[in-house]
Amino acid sequence: MSETSMATVQPYSGAAKAFHWTIVVLVALMLYGGWTVEDLPKDERLGVMQIHAGIGITVLVLMLARLIYRLGHPAPALPADLPRWQAVASKAAHHGLYFFVILQPLIGLAIATTSKFNLHAFGVLGLQIAPNEAIHDLAEDLHGLNAWIITAIVAIHAGAALYHHFIRHDTVLKRMLPFAKV
């Protein structure tokens, strides 16, 4: 990597890193929980789904806050010598992650609000509004599909970060790591 492209790479802010890694952990928990809840005994599912709903709402709030923060604090520039197709792919992946991760809890709310059972987020906030089996079933299908889309984009995103670190040997990954120096 050239010295000029190294000099232009800046790290993400502490707030951006905090949003990123908090949401990473929560989304990973949500994907794991969503895919394994059916394996639990029936009497344990309700508690897990109440936590799942609460964390989903938390992810939605954090993603909206992150989006608002991002509008006032743009991402640092990519290395100047990055091929154009990689810069375009990076922007598409980031926009896709914002879109689909915000969409996922909205679909989850559609599931909860149309369910015949009144699920309570974190066991407190009742979410049922208007039971509707057709909308509920469609939302469940979309929620599952969207989880796979998020997983695919995350895999591409993580693979690209590792490519930058281990093959390009640039600072793209380090600028988002919590304690790394760029």
The proportion of the chain whose per-residue pLDDT surpasses 70, expressed as a percent, equals 95
- Taking 70 as the threshold, does the pLDDT of residue 117 lie above it? yes
* Domain membership flag for residue 7: no
Q: Provide the domain limits for residue 123.
A: 12-168
Q: What is the pTM of this model?
A: 0.93
Rounded to whole angstroms, the Cα distance separating 125 from 148 reads 27
140 Cα distance to chain centroid: 18
DSSP state of 165: I
- Residue 57 in contact with residue 104, Cβ under 8 Å? no
CATH number at residue 62: 1.20.950.20
Tell me the backbone φ, ψ of residue 132, rounded to 5 degrees: -155, 105
Task: Give the model's pLDDT for residue 60.
Answer: 98
* Domain membership flag for residue 47: yes
Rounded to whole angstroms, the Cα distance separating 154 from 163 reads 14
Q: What is the dihedral of CA 157, 100, 136, 129, to 10 degrees?
A: 130
* Domain membership flag for residue 90: yes
Residues whose CB falls within 8 Å of the CB of residue 107, separated by 6 or more in sequence, listed in order: 139, 142, 143, 146
Task: Give the model's pLDDT for residue 8.
Answer: 56
- For the chain, how many structural domains are there in total? 1
- Taking 70 as the threshold, does the pLDDT of residue 9 lie above it? no
Task: Give the model's pLDDT for residue 19.
Answer: 98
* Domain membership flag for residue 72: yes
Average pLDDT, the chain: 94
Q: What average pLDDT does range 26-37 have in this prediction? A: 97
pLDDT tens, residue by residue, 45-94: 999 999 999 999 999 999 999 999 999 999 999 999 999 999 999 999 99
